Structure 1
């Protein structure tokens, strides 16, 4: 068997395997969309019909129009504002920290960095009570700040960006210093523009993590108006006594921003993953 035939066989097998995995991943989303377009009686019928016989938008209209018991548009706005604000601040703070750990020389730099990495071994649930105590002391309970500020100095983000920054040639910095650039100007005008793939990957992970977070917003919010979508969906379940068609409509609404973000960022996503973490 020739080399080209072997390569073609490997590519064909890989394509079939990845296509099968892709179908498995997208099937639940298709089922959610399909169910959300069905009347309630058809949503729980058996066998499952992937294509609705009589598609309807009534479930979406009912969910959106219920502004008293389950204000889903308010929850959507809360989640969007909190997730975007948190993501922007995480990118700024972690990129500054990663720049210091990768490009600046100071005593104990590597020891501090690896000590910071060691904190990743601590289960996040152990930080729950201390974090709540701090947020409560600051008077942030039932405010957006309780869901925006905690976690801004994410260790994973610092590690990801540091590894990417280490791959940027130092000659660029040296040339900028000769031209009179300050450290912040080098960070802002050289390092960040060259690190778009890694920044997009971190932004995607951060946004998805904050958007889908359930436990922390449940703990730090009290009023219905301050709830985020994941917490709101649990309220919606009780409101409609598990009316599956309406639940699927609300679930699909909550999935749309993440899907759009991933589709827009996918070309950067692969590049950012492949180029990060290759240098120690």
Structure 2
């Protein structure tokens, strides 16, 4: 506490020009970081209006010399790939997986946070241990399981395994630890069922954590490439990342169409962040509660 007060005192006594220089360096650093992060997105957008020959022209330019909508026309009319169908496939899979993940994670997290049962600590440690396993470790056994239950080339093979999230369960457990036990006890005294307590008290008080987890799960599902590539077989069933990858041929790569498809795929993500930015920023520290 004393060191904090000393730093504040020195900061107040520091000359005005020194504070101005410090702020200038901070702002310059932020501008440089914004340019480095934003430049690829700007080039993706402008490159989607270029032909392949213009994309590889020298010197490199962000502004198209001869803007064209040919990439978008070819992409959306299905002449190369059924992109609109694949875009809808990704949307369906991401939304379904997000909703199911929220249900599973919230119920498991509520159980670990508010109930006592035999083997609770050991089971929770096993849950945490699974976070250390890379997905590549379980890819082959999971694929063999999908073959045995005949889920290949179906969306069940993506949605169901993706809905079981150890991180999501841990994240919701940490958030639900903050729900006062007095509220739970009062609800039981009033005759509320366990499900009613979870639905009327647990979920409303954890809506911030639910919103953050929903965005994380949606992003992961929306951009997932490896697992859909393994289990999906037909072009009409592909999600958009797998569909865009088919534009990379042995002798020709449709860079303009890939950039156009990638830009269209960023629109739902931008919409989510713009619409829910306040809630996301207010709940970024969720999960830091000690258990």
Normalising by structure 1, we get a TM-score of 0.91
Q: What is residue 209 of structure 1 aligned with on the other side?
A: 220
Going from structure 1 to structure 2, the CA distance change for 1:9 and 1:112 (only over 3 Å counts) comes to farther
Q: Show structure 1 runs of 5+ residues with no match.
A: none
Q: Show structure 2 runs of 5+ residues with no match.
A: 1-9
Going from structure 1 to structure 2, the CA distance change for 1:264 and 1:214 (only over 3 Å counts) comes to same
Say whether residues 1:3 and 2:12 are aligned partners.
yes
Going from structure 1 to structure 2, the CA distance change for 1:115 and 1:12 (only over 3 Å counts) comes to farther
Provide the C-alpha distance between the structure 2 equivalents of 1:55 and 1:160, rounded to a whole number of angstroms.
46
Compute the displacement of 1:11 (Å). 5.8
Compute the displacement of 1:73 (Å). 0.6
1:33 to 31, 45, 60: 45
After TM superposition, the structure 1 stretch with the greater mean CA deviation from structure 2, 74-83 or 163-172, is 163-172
Task: Give the paired residue count.
Answer: 279
Alignment of 1:75-94 (within 5 A): 75-94=86-105
Q: What is residue 108 of structure 1 aligned with on the other side?
A: 119
Say whether residues 1:184 and 2:185 are aligned partners.
no
Going from structure 1 to structure 2, the CA distance change for 1:121 and 1:232 (only over 3 Å counts) comes to same
Provide the C-alpha distance between the structure 1 equivalents of 2:64 and 2:177, rounded to a whole number of angstroms.
52
Provide the C-alpha distance between the structure 2 equivalents of 1:55 and 1:21, rounded to a whole number of angstroms.
28
Compute the displacement of 1:95 (Å). 0.5
- RMSD of aligned alpha carbons: 2.2
Provide the C-alpha distance between the structure 2 equivalents of 1:138 and 1:259, rounded to a whole number of angstroms.
37
Provide the C-alpha distance between the structure 2 equivalents of 1:181 and 1:55, rounded to a whole number of angstroms.
63
Going from structure 1 to structure 2, the CA distance change for 1:240 and 1:34 (only over 3 Å counts) comes to farther
1:44–1:244: 8 Å Cα contact kept in structure 2?
Answer: no
Provide the C-alpha distance between the structure 2 equivalents of 1:239 and 1:82, rounded to a whole number of angstroms.
29
Say whether residues 1:174 and 2:203 are aligned partners.
no
Compute the displacement of 1:19 (Å). 3.5
Greater Cα radius of gyration, structure 1 or 2: 2
Q: What is residue 60 of structure 2 aligned with on the other side?
A: 48
Going from structure 1 to structure 2, the CA distance change for 1:93 and 1:20 (only over 3 Å counts) comes to same
Provide the C-alpha distance between the structure 2 equivalents of 1:265 and 1:209, rounded to a whole number of angstroms.
17
Provide the C-alpha distance between the structure 1 equivalents of 2:169 and 2:21, rounded to a whole number of angstroms.
40
1:267 to 257, 261, 278: 278
Provide the C-alpha distance between the structure 2 equivalents of 1:194 and 1:7, rounded to a whole number of angstroms.
41
The CA deviation string for residues 189-224 of structure 1, in whole angstroms up to 9 with x for no partner, is 111112122111111111111111111111111111
1:167–1:279: 8 Å Cα contact kept in structure 2?
Answer: no
Alignment of 1:234-245 (within 5 A): 234-238=245-249, 241-245=252-256
Compute the displacement of 1:125 (Å). 0.7
Provide the C-alpha distance between the structure 1 equivalents of 2:22 and 2:112, rounded to a whole number of angstroms.
41
Compute the displacement of 1:15 (Å). 4.2
Say whether residues 1:164 and 2:175 are aligned partners.
yes
Provide the C-alpha distance between the structure 1 equivalents of 2:91 and 2:286, rounded to a whole number of angstroms.
29
Q: What is residue 219 of structure 1 aligned with on the other side?
A: 230
Provide the C-alpha distance between the structure 1 equivalents of 2:74 and 2:130, rounded to a whole number of angstroms.
46
Q: What is residue 231 of structure 1 aligned with on the other side?
A: 242
Matched residue of 1:225: which SS? Answer: helix
Going from structure 1 to structure 2, the CA distance change for 1:12 and 1:169 (only over 3 Å counts) comes to farther
Provide the C-alpha distance between the structure 1 equivalents of 2:129 and 2:22, rounded to a whole number of angstroms.
39
2:247–2:254: 8 Å Cα contact kept in structure 1?
Answer: no
Going from structure 1 to structure 2, the CA distance change for 1:234 and 1:139 (only over 3 Å counts) comes to same
1:196–1:268: 8 Å Cα contact kept in structure 2?
Answer: no
